[in-house]
C-alpha cells in the first residue's frame, strides 16, 4: 500500500472540502473587519453570527452563550482561570478550590498548576482503571471554597467517556460551576448542555473537520464569567480581538456537517475500530486494551504492548506510511510515560509500550488490515531485539 494511512484523528482531522469552500470567500472577497459599521464589514459580522447560531443549535444552547476563541486550549484556560477570579471577586481575600481529574488534557493540568502557584487549591478526583471518574468519591472532595468542577467529556488518549451528567448534577447540588473539556467529544457525540446540566464547555474546530486555530467556549448565560482577553468590545465584551472570520465560518460549517453525519459515521468507524481491536488482541500476544470497553469514543483504540517502547514503534510504523500516536515521550534519553497511564495505574514498563489508534472519515477496512499486518512484525522484531 503506497498511500499514507492516517490513524491519528484525535491529534487533528483533515479539513473537510466543504469547509474550505465555505471559508474561501471570507479570505478573498469579504475581508472587512466585522466591527466596522459599513456594509462590507457587516458581511463578516453576519457570517460570524450565522456560525454562532449553528454551533449553539448543535449543543442546545442560546446563541449569546457561544464565545469564539483560538481553540480548546484557550477555552480551557479561560474557564478555569476566570472561574477562580470570579470566586475571588465574590469572596475578597479568599482563593477558590478546583476539582478536576488527573487524566485531563495538559491545557487543564498545567492551568491548575499555575493556579496552585497563585494560591488556589486543586484536588484531583480518583479514577478507576478504565479512566472513569468515581462519582461516589467526588463529593467527599468538595470544600467550602470549591468553585468549579472540571472533568473532560471524553479522554483524548484512552477514549473513555466520563459520567458528565452525574458530575454536573453533583456540581449543581453543591452550587459549583461545572465545566467540561469536550474537545474530543464535540462533533463525535450528541451533546445537550441543557439536559446534561453543563455550565461551560470547550471545543476545537480541527478535531471535527474544521480549521486549526479556532474554537469556542460555551458559557451558560447565568454565569457572569469575567473576560479573558482585554481590549475591544468583541464577543459581547468577553473576548477582545478582531475575530478570525474565515476560521469561525469554517468551524460553523464543520459543526453542521459533523452533526448531520454523526450517527452514520460513528457506526462506520466503530466497525473498523472493532476489527482493529479484535485482530490485535487475537494475533499479537501480551497486549492490553486500555480504557473503558463500553463507555468510549467509537474511533479510539489504545493498547499497551509489553516489551516495546511505543514511541519507537510509532516511528517504525511511520516508515511503513502509517501515522499513529504513542503514549510516551522521550527526552534526554529517558522515556516518560503518559500522565493518563500513571493515573489509571498502568505499570511503567507496560505503559511505555502504549500506542493510540484513532480512526476517521477517510479510513477503510483495507487500511486496518494492512496496519495490523505491519504492526505484528514490528512488535515481534522489537521484542526480539530487546531480549
Strands of the sheet with 300-305, listed across from one edge: 287-290, 300-305, 354-358, 325-326
Rounded CA gap, 153 and 161, in Å? 6
**Residue of 230, 214, 252, 220 lying closest to 75 (CA atoms):** 214
Catalytic choice (112, 141, 147, 330): 330
Cell of 35: 466591527
Chain-centroid distance of CA 203 in Å reads: 7
Sequence-distant (≥ 6) Cβ neighbours of residue 59 within 8 angstroms:
186, 191, 192, 193, 201, 218
Phi/psi at 192 (nearest 5 deg)? -125, 100
**Residue of 81, 130, 115 lying closest to 295 (CA atoms):** 130
Crossing angle of the two packed helices 310-319 and 365-386, in degrees rounded to 10: 130
**Residue of 52, 62, 41, 79 lying closest to 242 (CA atoms):** 41
Residue 330 known to be catalytic = yes
**Beta-strand (E) ranges in 7-159?**
66-69, 97-100, 121-124, 146-150
Place of cell 468538595: 142
CA atoms within 13 A on the CB side of 370: 17
| Beta-ladder partners of 148 | 98, 177
Do residues 351 and 290 touch, judged by C-beta distance below 8 A?
no
By annotation, the residues acting in catalysis are 330
Amino acid at each position: 500500500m503506497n498511500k499514507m494511512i492516517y490513524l491519528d484523528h484525535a491529534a487533528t482531522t483533515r479539513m473537510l472540502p466543504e469547509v474550505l469552500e465555505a471559508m474561501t470567500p471570507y479570505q478573498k472577497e469579504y475581508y472587512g473587519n466585522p466591527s466596522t459599521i459599513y456594509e462590507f464589514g457587516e458581511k463578516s459580522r453576519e457570517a460570524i453570527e450565522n456560525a454562532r447560531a449553528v454551533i449553539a443549535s448543535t449543543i442546545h444552547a442560546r446563541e449569546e452563550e457561544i464565545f469564539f476563541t483560538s481553540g480548546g486550549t484557550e477555552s480551557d484556560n479561560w474557564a478555569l482561570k476566570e472561574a477562580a477570579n470570579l470566586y475571588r471577586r465574590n469572596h475578597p481575600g479568599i482563593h477558590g478550590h478546583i476539582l478536576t481529574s488527573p487524566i485531563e488534557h495538559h491545557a487543564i493540568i498545567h492551568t491548575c498548576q499555575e493556579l496552585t502557584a497563585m494560591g488556589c487549591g486543586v484536588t484531583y478526583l480518583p479514577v478507576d482503571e478504565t479512566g472513569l471518574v468515581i462519582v461516589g468519591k467526588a463529593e467527599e472532595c468538595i470544600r467550602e471554597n470549591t468553585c468549579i468542577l472540571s472533568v473532560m467529556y471524553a479522554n483524548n488518549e484512552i477514549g473513555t467517556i466520563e459520567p458528565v451528567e452525574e458530575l454536573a448534577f453533583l456540581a449543581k447540588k453543591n452550587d459549583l460551576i461545572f465545566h467540561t473539556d469536550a474537545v474530543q467529544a464535540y462533533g463525535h457525540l450528541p451533546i445537550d448542555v441543557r439536559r446534561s446540566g453543563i455550565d461551560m464547555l470547550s471545543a476545537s474546530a480541527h478535531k471535527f473537520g474544521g480549521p486549526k486555530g479556532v474554537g469556542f467556549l460555551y458559557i451558560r448565560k447565568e454565569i457572569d464569567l469575567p473576560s479573558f482577553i482585554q481590549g475591544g468590545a468583541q464577543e459581547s465584551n468577553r473576548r477582545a480581538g478582531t475575530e478570525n472570520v474565515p476560521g469561525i465560518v469554517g468551524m460553523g460549517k464543520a459543526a453542521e456537517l459533523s452533526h448531520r453525519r454523526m450517527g452514520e459515521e460513528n457506526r462506520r468507524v466503530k466497525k473498523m475500530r472493532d476489527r482493529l481491536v479484535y485482530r490485535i488482541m487475537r494475533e499479537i500476544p501480551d497486549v492490553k486494551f486500555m480504557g473503558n470497553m463500553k463507555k468510549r469514543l467509537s474511533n479510539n483504540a489504545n493498547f499497551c504492548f509489553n516489551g516495546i517502547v511505543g514511541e519507537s514503534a510509532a516511528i517504525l510504523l511511520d516508515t511503513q506510511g502509517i501515522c499513529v500516536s504513542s503514549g510516551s515521550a522521550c527526552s534526554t534519553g529517558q522515556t516518560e510515560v503518559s500522565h493518563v497511564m500513571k493515573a489509571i495505574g498502568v505499570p511503567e514498563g507496560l505503559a511505555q509500550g502504549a500506542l493510540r489508534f484513532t480512526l476517521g472519515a477517510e479510513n477503510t477496512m483495507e487500511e486496518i488490515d494492512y496496519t495490523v499486518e505491519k504492526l505484528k512484525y514490528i512488535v515481534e522484531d522489537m521484542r526480539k531485539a530487546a531480549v
